């Protein structure tokens, strides 16, 4: 008898092997790879999603054999609502499949929303269980949806394109987590990647940094200023610069190592910040002929390069202190670490202290000539 009961129970359990009762197969999901959020003219939230369209494997083989081109591999849907959640509901109603947020990589925010304050529309991405804090946030000039709908020759979707771009430009990834931490700080100031659209080549690109103060977008820094910001924040990515020594002749330098140390100092009422930049550059090309062989020339190149970096930092520092008066360099944390007790009493006045900080820039750069061909030209 017991044997039969066992058999019977086992058979009943077989039914459970079919899987979950509320399963969602991958072909029932709309996998979102990038999200754009805008503020419309009548103060509503426009939510746009870039949804990956999985390419049929066999179709792909055909096209590589000379068949028809792949065509669009993504689609973009938008919805407007009173706030983010309302727009989200409307978005779900225009997409026939369940929206899946687990693969969202890119968040593009239009500058209008950024100006009005975007943080309270973004709690979805920190609280929802599918969304991840690894998201890359971007601010764009104009509407985010305009960038989302574009198609690009190399990458399949915007998500790939932008994450590749940010990998090229930034030393450390600027994620949603980093963004929230910065907005959580005393100054509520930070800089996020600023995306522009290149009409001629039809690609969006990172054209600087969007400057935030008190959680709101106040202006954009151009590429040169962005470089200055990166120098101060120790985020400079190794890159090529050119130095003119005399009469239009000069050398091309490749940065191979860099490190920036911030040394805060409070002397009486005067707050000081010493920015120590260390770096090493290789000469990769020169139009100086035989001169390049002389140690004196190397010295001159070195001095010139140091001056360039100094003026670069100096410019952006002046602009940050006077025009934006936004602590985008994270000085608040630096002071807090060095002077925790003083900081407690001064942190509420931070926005008035910051513009008056005296900044000292000290650049220690070494230039090496390591090329194979010593006397170019």
Partner 1 sequence: MDIQRNVTQISVFQIALLLAMAMNSTAILTAPAITVQYAQRDLWLSPLFSSVSGIIVLFLAIHLNRRFPGMTVIQYSEYCIGKWPGKIISGIFLLVVLHIGSIIVREYAEFVKGMFLDETPLLVIICGMVILSTYATRSGIEVIGRLAQLFVPGVMLTWVILLLLTIPDWDVMNIFPAFDGGILPAIRGSITPQGWFSEMFLLSFLLPHLKKNSPIKKWMIIMVVFAAINLSILNIISLFVFGNLVPTLTYPVMSLIRYVNIADFLQHIDALLLIIWVIGVFLKIVLFQYCIASGCAQWLNVEKFRPLVLPLGFLMVLFSLWSASSMQDLSAYLKDTSFFYAMIFFLIYPLGLFLIAIVRKPKIRRD
Q: Find the binding residues for partner 1 in span 326-365 (CB under 8 A).
A: 333, 336-338, 340
Ordered strands of the 358-368 beta sheet: 240-246, 249-267, 270-286, 358-368
Closest separation between CB of residue 11 and partner 1, Å?
19
Closest separation between CB of residue 219 and partner 1, Å?
25
Backbone angles phi, psi at 299, to 5 degrees: -60, -45
Binding mask 304-333 for partner 1 (x = CB under 8 A): -----------------------------x
C-beta separation of 101 from 131 below 8 A: yes
Binding mask 185-224 for partner 1 (x = CB under 8 A): x---------------------------------------
Tell how far CA 22 is from the center of its chain. 37
Q: CB-wise, 215 or 252, nearer to partner 1? A: 215
Closest separation between CB of residue 188 and partner 1, Å?
12
Q: CB-wise, 271 or 336, nearer to partner 1? A: 336
CA–CA distance, 248 with 165 (Å, rounded to integer): 32
Residue of the chain from 28, 61, 72, 181 that contacts partner 1 (CB under 8 A): 181
Q: CB-wise, 59 or 133, nearer to partner 1? A: 133
Closest separation between CB of residue 335 and partner 1, Å?
10
Residues 51-78 as b/e (b if ≥16 CB within 10 A, e otherwise) read bbeeeeeeeeeeeeeeeeeeeeebebbb
Of the candidates 92, 87, 106, the one whose C-alpha atom is nearest the C-alpha of residue 38 is: 87
Closest separation between CB of residue 67 and partner 1, Å?
30
Backbone angles phi, psi at 77, to 5 degrees: -125, 145
- Strands 358-368, 270-286: parallel, antiparallel or unpaired by DSSP? parallel
Work out whether 180 is an interface residue with partner 1 (CB under 8 A): yes
> Interacting stretch for partner 1, rule CB under 8 A, among 65-73, 129-137, 278-286, 358-366?
129-137
Return the H-helix or E-strand segment holding 79. Answer: strand 74-81
Q: CB-wise, 217 or 336, nearer to partner 1? A: 336
> Interacting stretch for partner 1, rule CB under 8 A, among 32-40, 131-139, 205-213, 320-328?
131-139
Residue of the chain from 44, 115, 132, 304 that contacts partner 1 (CB under 8 A): 132
Tokens, residue 374: 């010593």
Binding mask 81-120 for partner 1 (x = CB under 8 A): ---------------------x------------------
DSSP 118: -
C-beta separation of 327 from 260 below 8 A: no
CA–CA distance, 161 with 239 (Å, rounded to integer): 20
C-beta separation of 277 from 327 below 8 A: no
C-beta separation of 309 from 363 below 8 A: yes
Closest separation between CB of residue 10 and partner 1, Å?
16
Work out whether 265 is an interface residue with partner 1 (CB under 8 A): no
> Please, which residues bridge with residue 263 across strands?
274
C-beta separation of 19 from 58 below 8 A: no
Residue of the chain from 89, 184, 201, 375 that contacts partner 1 (CB under 8 A): 184
Task: Provide the binding-site residues for partner 1, judged by CB under 8 A.
Answer: 22, 102, 126, 129, 132-134, 163, 173, 175, 177, 180-181, 184-185, 333, 336-338, 340
């Amino acid at each position: 008898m017991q044997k039969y009961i066992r058999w019977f129970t086992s058979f009943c359990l077989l039914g459970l092997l079919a899987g979950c009762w509320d399963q969602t197969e991958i072909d029932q999901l709309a996998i979102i790879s990038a999200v754009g959020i805008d503020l419309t003219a009548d103060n509503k939230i426009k939510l746009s999603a870039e949804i990956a369209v999985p390419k049929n494997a066999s179709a792909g083989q055909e096209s590589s054999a000379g068949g028809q081109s792949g065509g669009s591999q993504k689609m973009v849907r938008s919805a407007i609502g009173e706030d983010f959640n309302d727009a989200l509901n409307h978005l779900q109603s225009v997409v026939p499949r369940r929206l899946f947020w687990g693969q969202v990589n890119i968040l593009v925010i239009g500058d209008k929303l950024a100006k009005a304050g975007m943080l309270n529309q973004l709690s979805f991405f920190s609280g929802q269980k599918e969304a991840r804090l690894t998201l890359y946030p971007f601010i764009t000039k104009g509407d985010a949806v305009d960038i989302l709908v574009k198609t690009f020759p190399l990458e399949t979707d915007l998500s790939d394109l932008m994450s590749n771009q940010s990998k090229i430009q930034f030393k450390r990834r600027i994620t949603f987590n980093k963004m929230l931490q910065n907005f959580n700080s005393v100054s509520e100031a930070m800089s996020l990647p600023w995306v522009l659209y290149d009409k001629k080549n039809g690609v969006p690109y990172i054209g600087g940094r969007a400057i935030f103060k008190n959680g709101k977008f106040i202006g954009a820094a151009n590429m040169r200023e962005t470089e200055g910001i990166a120098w101060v924040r120790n985020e400079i990515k190794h890159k090529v610069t050119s130095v003119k020594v005399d009469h239009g002749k000069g050398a091309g330098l490749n940065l191979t190592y860099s490190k920036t140390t911030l040394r805060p100092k409070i002397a009486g009422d005067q707050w000081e910040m010493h920015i120590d930049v260390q770096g090493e550059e290789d000469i990769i090309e020169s139009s100086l002929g035989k001169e390049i062989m002389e140690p004196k020339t190397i010295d001159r190149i070195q001095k010139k390069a140091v001056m360039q970096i100094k003026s670069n930092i100096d410019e952006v520092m002046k602009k940050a202190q006077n025009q934006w008066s936004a602590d985008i360099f994270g000085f608040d944390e630096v002071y807090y670490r060095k002077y925790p007790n003083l900081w407690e009493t001064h942190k509420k006045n931070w926005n008035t202290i910051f513009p008056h900080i005296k900044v000292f820039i000290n650049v220690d750069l070494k230039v090496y000539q390591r090329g194979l061909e010593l006397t170019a030209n």
